[in-house]
Amino acid sequence: MHGVIMAGGRGTRLQPLTDDRPKPMVPLLGRPVIDYVKDAMLRAGVNDLVVTTGYRGEDLEAHVNTWAANGVRARVNREATPMGTAGSVRLLADVLQSTFLVGSGTASAPSTWRPFSPTTETRVQR
């Protein structure tokens, strides 16, 4: 199952913590917040991750690339122009043809997550 972590926001409400890093890279208990989101997605059955980035995307990409050492299949999709909360997901419409899970790069509430199936629910509009 595909998983999308939306991580393109500027994080202005967390300044100054986000002045030199993207919001999902802010540490929580010694780990970047995005790592908790990744772990929750893997526990939910995701086996192919796409992280959408914007602000300081190169920092996130470098971090996401380290996940491969632990066998995590992940890639980064950069937004050239900010597209809003779920705009980056729309760019992946061709990839997301089956069940997938979408989460924020900074908020993990795995007990409320459930897969989204385009075949049984409204499909992502192109």
Indicate the range of 4-13, 26-35, 63-72, 90-99 predicted with least confidence. 90-99
**Is residue 74 domain-resident?**
yes
Rounded Cα–Cα distance for residues 38 and 72 (Å): 9
Task: For residue 43, give every residue at least 6 positions away whose Cβ sits within 8 Å of its Cβ, in sequence order, or none.
Answer: 110
Please give the average per-residue pLDDT across 92-119, as a whole number: 64
Q: Is 26 helix (H, G, I), strand (E, B) or coil?
A: coil
Reported in sequence order, the residue ranges of the chain that DSSP labels E, i.e. its strands, are 2-7, 27-28, 31-32, 48-53, 74-78, 100-104
Residue 104 reports pLDDT greater than 50: yes
**Is residue 14 domain-resident?**
yes
Domain range for 36 is: 2-112
Q: Is 87 helix (H, G, I), strand (E, B) or coil?
A: helix
**Is residue 123 domain-resident?**
no
Indicate the range of 43-47, 66-70, 88-92, 121-125 predicted with least confidence. 121-125
Domains in the chain: how many in total?
1
The chain-wide mean pLDDT, for the chain, equals: 80
pLDDT tens-digit readout, 6-56: 888 888 888 998 899 999 999 988 999 999 999 988 988 899 999 988 889
**Is residue 120 domain-resident?**
no
Rounded Cα–Cα distance for residues 84 and 48 (Å): 23
For the domain that residue 96 is a member of, what is the CATH number?
Answer: 3.90.550.10
